[in-house]
Amino acid sequence: MLALIVDDELEIREGLRTKIPWADYGVEETAVADDGDTALAIARARMPDLVVTDIRMNRMSGLELLERLSAERPEGWKGIVISGYDDFDIVRQAMKLGAMDYILKPINTDELGEILTRTIGQLRKERIERERQSRLQSHLTSALPKMRDEVMRELIELTYDPYRETRIVHKLKTLELDWLLRGNLALLLVEVDDLKSIEKRDGSRLEKELILFGIGNVAKQTLEEDTPLASVLVPDHRDRWAIVLECPENGRLDACKELGALLIDRVNRYVKVNVSVAVSSGCGDTTRLHALYQEAEDILMQKAVYGGNRMLTSLGWENEAERDVPSIAQTDEALDLVRYGTDEDIRTAMDRFVEMVKCWGAGHIRDTQQRIFEWLLSLFKKAAAFGWTDRTWERNPVIVWERLEKFDTLESLREQSEQILLSIAEDFRSHAAPPSQIIQEADKFIRAHYAESLTLPSVSAAVHVTPVWLSKLFKKEMHKTFLEHLTDIRMEKAKRMLVDVQYKIYEISSSVGYKDPVHFTKVFKRHAGLTPKEYRRLQGIADE
């Protein structure tokens, strides 16, 4: 404990320092100052526990010193003032500023001892109370996340029960989550792709926990920095992260989809694993959170159709950034762009040229030119393998470099790169298969393999295009998504089998590509408006 003695009279100052047995009162060290200015500087630097100061001093008075200290350090110290008999009004002001007690001149050491005993006793009592409050706050701070997780898991994982509502509302208010009670909410569910395979690898339990922890950190930082909407992040009991997000109106689901795409990109980049994100189809209040959560769980099952590492909604593959605009950074997608895209498709995709270049992190224009040159050569090689006839670049690649070297802004380099892509596209149009032929081949493959676990990537591999471009062609040529077309084919076959009494419904389910008869029933009802049993009855066939 440190005491600061302040008095402009040397005799009084030194007398207090040397004649009072400070150690007997628990004061290990004393410091002195001959005026208020010096005392304030010492107090700021050393944070004394006790300040014993004269009221009347030149320059800064003891009263002003106490006032300044009280403003800068409201607690953790006590003041004792020394005054003359005619200073009572000033002493009263000092007491209002937090002085613990006062002593009159000439100083009686016994009286000062009693005052020190009371003052230091009060200091110790307050210190113990502050430590107790700090421990309580620390315990509360560490418990809050667990309490939040528990109440949020209750909301999303358990069916709504009105008898629990009062208790849950109280908990939400206590945990500062009462914003959940004020409006519509959307739900995102983030799941690591192939997590079970990671978990089963030898010695990988720690790796799994680190992966989940890393995803949580990425999600937390993204929510804090990249969305103005109120949100809460919670781990569920199936090693997934659920995000409940403020959704003032259904149109704000676009913001949820943007958030999902951003999360996938950042988890890929920083955690180095693939994840899929399911977005609920609509918004609802806290009573509907469980239904939204269940819907998101069903949506995640679409990974079996579309593949993982993408954003999914009830309508299927909904990563707008990838589905509608191929990524020029991926040379396979850029290749399909020049093979099957229109000039407008190419110009739209090239809107991301600057973003692609910035991701490379090239610090100098020559480095940027070099990376663009390498990107173009990679595209040229793939294009040549699929029938591009121009071989000038192969015979003399320096021509391409010299063309890029003439330009030193991203805008001009983008223009040159775009012109090169357009010229490749023009060459392909003269001999490549039209988009309709690709769709015909895809349709033929789907009809031959619909009973298998088909995915968009597996079908795209069979017809030699990227999943991004096949998805785009389905919408353009057939005016429906890949999943809708696959489902139509499966339901057509299911209807034909349902009118044949030799097949059980679970056999039909398996035959048309659904391992889970319950899921098959849901899909069939959504497609036909009737359950398989109801459809059979309508055809005059009795129940199984």
Per-residue pLDDT tens for 246-291?
Answer: 876 544 576 788 788 889 988 988 998 999 999 987 788 899 899 8
Q: What is the CA radius of gyration of the chain?
A: 37
Structure tokens at 36: 């208020």
pLDDT given for residue 537 in this prediction: 87
Is-contact 273 267, C-beta < 8 A? yes
- 440: which 2 tokens? 């015909």
CATH of domain 158-320: 3.30.70.270
Summarize pLDDT for 428-445 with one digit per residue, the tens.
888 766 778 888 999 999
Q: Which residues contact 223 (CB under 8 A, 6 or more apart)?
A: 231, 233, 243, 259
- Across the range 342-364, mean pLDDT stands at 83
The Cα–Cα gap between 464 and 471 comes to 13
- Sheet (strand 311-313) strand order: 231-235, 240-246, 185-192, 275-279, 311-313, 316-317
- Between CA 189 and CA 258 the distance in angstroms is 14
Neighbours of 255 (CB within 10 A): 17
* Domain positions in the chain: 2-129, 158-320, 331-429, 435-538
518: CB partners within 8 A, 6+ apart:
none
The per-residue pLDDT for range 364-412, each reduced to its tens digit, is 888 889 999 999 999 999 899 888 888 888 888 899 999 998 888 888 8
Task: Tell me the per-residue pLDDT of 459-504, one tens digit each, with 9 for 90 and over.
Answer: 888 988 888 788 888 888 888 888 889 989 999 999 999 988 888 9
Range with the lowest mean pLDDT among 140-144, 403-407, 421-425, 483-487? Answer: 140-144
185-199, 201-215, 411-425, 456-470: the lowest-pLDDT one: 201-215
CA proximity to 127, closest of 66, 72, 78: 78
Class of domain 435-538: mainly alpha
Our measurement of the distance from residue 342's CA atom to the centroid of its chain's CA atoms, rounded to an integer in Å, reads: 36
pLDDT of residue 323: 44
Q: What kind of architecture, by CATH, is found in domain 2-129?
A: 3-Layer(aba) Sandwich (3.40)
pLDDT above 90 for 200: no
DSSP-assigned states of every residue in 44-68: HHH--SEEEEES--SSS-HHHHHHH
For the entire predicted model, the pTM comes to 0.43
Which two three-digit tokens encode residue 61? 């008075």
Residue 331 Cα to chain centre, angstroms: 29
Q: What is the mean pLDDT of the chain?
A: 85
